[in-house]
Structure 1
Amino acid sequence: MFHLPITSLQAHFGDIDIYLFDQLLKGRIQKGMKLLDAGCSTGRNLPYLLKAGVKVHGVDLSVDAVRQVRELASELAPTLPADNFVTADLEQLPFESDKFEVILCSAVLHFARSEAHFQGMVQELWRVLQPGGMLFCRFGTTIGLAGKLEQLEGRFHRMPHGPVWFLADEALLSELEKQLTATRLEPLKTVLVEQERSMTTWVLRK
């Protein structure tokens, strides 16, 4: 019997977020789907998706990051247009409404500049998501750490590792779901990391 080497997993899937990999295992991302990586950075989550025939788009505030993602896409999915990858704020996406079947937003929303900016980003992601589409977000929250972090003004907290993050709580997420008339695809899942940060996965159906 032939066995694949365990080391082939990294070569096949790259550094994809394990929580995003879970969505692949559940069949929620398929070849040919239009997918937006919102806050794509240099494309850590994209190599497997590009090779698998997903119609990937990406947006990031960093011009240099977008350049690197374009180079990655030209190597792994040369038929994708370079202008699938653009520089923009998530609060003002340069895409028509109802464009994407899947939107990923990983480790981005806790960098919101205000509560209005946080809500604006979520609402804009929702605008460009197709009815029936999936919004997958992972970001820092206060869930499991309420009262244990240095709170500044409003929902801003100074994190133990240094930076200031905007941290939503479950009540804010529930209120946004009502505003969007969203359906939770699965329960909120929060990982507590060394009592320093809580990273919550929020998966919605439009």
Structure 2
Amino acid sequence: MFHIPLSSLPAQFGDIDIYLFDQLLKGRIQRGMKLLDAGCGAGRNLHYLLQAGVKVYGADLSAEAIDKVRNLASELAPNLPARNFVVADLDALPFEDAQFDVVLCSAVLHFARSEEHFNGIVRELWRVLKPGGMLFARFSTTIGLEGKLQQVEGRFYRMSHGPVWFLADEKLVVELEKELGFARLEPLKTVLVEQERTMTTWVVRKVV
């Protein structure tokens, strides 16, 4: 019987978010799909997808990060055009409406500069997503830590490790779902990290 060595897993999957890996196991990301990683960084969630025949695109504010993800793509998926990966603010994506089967936005939304910026990003992710397409987002929220965080102003909180983050609450998430026409593929799942922060996974389908 053939066994794949455990030591080969990093070469196959890189540093993929375990919650995104769960979506792969559920068959929601398939070969040939067009996928945007919004806030892709250097491509930590793209290592496997680039090798699996997914038509990967990426956007990030950092030109250095985009250079790195282009280099990664040139090694793992040399047929993908370098122009698939762009420097852009996520509230002004340079892509056409309804272009992607899947949009990822992992560990990004809590860096929004204002509530307007947060909402603008989510609306852009909706705009470029095809009807029936999946949005996978993971971001820090107040869910599970209500009243326990150091509030600076509005929805901005000082985190225990120093920086000030924009933290959505469940009410804001629900309002955006209703406004934009998202149906949850899964319940909101929130992980508490040592009483210091929470990370919420939001997996929804565009229905209008």
Q: TM-score range by the shorter chain?
A: over 0.9
Q: Which residue of structure 2 aligns with residue 155 of structure 1?
A: 155
Describe the SS at the equivalent of 1:173: helix
- Matched residue, 1:33: 33
TM-superposed CA distance for 1:3, in Å, is 2.4
One-letter identity of the residue aligned with 2:166: F
Query: In angstroms, what is the RMSD of aligned CA positions?
Result: 0.7
Q: Which amino acid aligns with 2:67?
A: R
Distance 2:51 2:95 in 1: 23
1:115-154 pair list within 5 angstroms: 115-154=115-154
**After TM superposition, where is structure 1 displaced by more than 3 Å over at least 4 residues in a row?**
none
1:177 match: 177
Note the C-alpha offset of 1:4. 2.3
Mapped to 2, the partners of 1:173 and 1:95 lie a distance apart of 24
Shift of residue 132, structure 1, vs aligned partner: 0.4
Q: Where does residue 71 of structure 1 map in the other structure?
A: 71
Deviations 1:22-59 (A, max 9, x none): 00000000001000000000000011000001000000
Q: Which position in structure 2 is the counterpart of 1:199?
A: 199
CA distance in 1, matches of 2:204, 2:2: 40
Secondary structure of the corresponding residue to residue 66 of structure 2 = helix
> Counterpart in 1 of 2:168?
168
Name the stretch that deviates more: 31-40 or 11-20: 11-20
What's the TM-score, normalizing by structure 2? Answer: 0.98
> Any idea what the Cα deviations from partners look like across 1:91-147, whole Å, max 9, x if unmatched?
000000000000000000000111010000000110000000000000000001111
Matches of 2:182 and 2:81, distance apart in 1: 31
State how far apart, in whole Å, the 2-side matches of 1:3 and 1:75 are: 26
Shift of 1:14: 1.3
Long gaps (5+) in structure 2: none
TM-score by length of 1: 0.99
Deviations 1:172-206 (A, max 9, x none): 10011000111000000000001111000001100
Q: Which residue of 2 aligns with 1:54?
A: 54
Instruction: String of CA shifts for 1:53-101, please: whole Å, max 9, x gaps.
Output: 1000000000010011001000100000000000000000000000000
TM superposition shift of 1:20: 0.2
Q: In structure 2, what residue type is equivalent to 1:53?
A: G
Counterpart for residue 105 of structure 2: 105
Instruction: Give the count of matched residue pairs.
Output: 206
SS in 2 for 1:101: strand
Percentage identity across aligned positions?
A: 76
Q: Distance in 2 between matches of 1:99 and 1:111?
A: 25
Distance 1:159 1:81 in 2: 39
Q: Report the alpha carbon displacement of residue 6 of structure 1 after superposing the two structures with TM.
A: 1.7
C-alpha distance in 2 between matches for 1:121 and 1:6: 38
Tell me the distance in 1 between the aligned counterparts of 2:96 and 2:178.
Answer: 23
CA distance in 2, matches of 1:188, 1:94: 29
Where in structure 1 are there 5+ consecutive unaligned residues?
A: none
Where does residue 5 of structure 1 map in the other structure?
A: 5
**Deviating more after overlay: 4-13 vs 112-121:** 4-13
**Partner Cα separation in structure 1 for residue 11 and residue 82 of structure 2:** 24
